[in-house]
Amino acid sequence: MDIIDWIQDWFANNCDGTWEKNEIIQITNIDNPGWEVEIDISKTSISNLEVKWILNENRKQDWYGVKIENQKFTAAGDIKKLPFLLNLFRDMIEKVEHQ
């Protein structure tokens, strides 16, 4: 399943009548240039997980970072990393749910 289909299914499966009325998934561009993804995880299996900012930088145009705090998954990366950032989120959810 491609990442867009997976995100749509994940979102639909977590809708409870209230949660989805907030800004749950935000994808914005940043000035590096690159992408930032923020996802509200307050109603998910990883809601209590905390991860300090981790930066993986191979070179100026090949980098990403991720953190989880205050029940929010945040990832950022270079201009080619949008699918990768969304897949980071999917990997975290699937690892926790399949333990």
* pLDDT above 90: residue 97: no
Q: What is the pLDDT of residues 10-28, one digit of tens each?
A: 999 989 899 889 889 999 9
pTM of the model: 0.90
Q: What is the pLDDT of residues 29-60, one digit of tens each?
A: 999 899 999 999 998 888 899 999 999 999 88
Cα separation, 94 vs 72, in Å, equals: 17
Cα separation, 97 vs 91, in Å, equals: 10
Write down the pLDDT at residue 44: 83
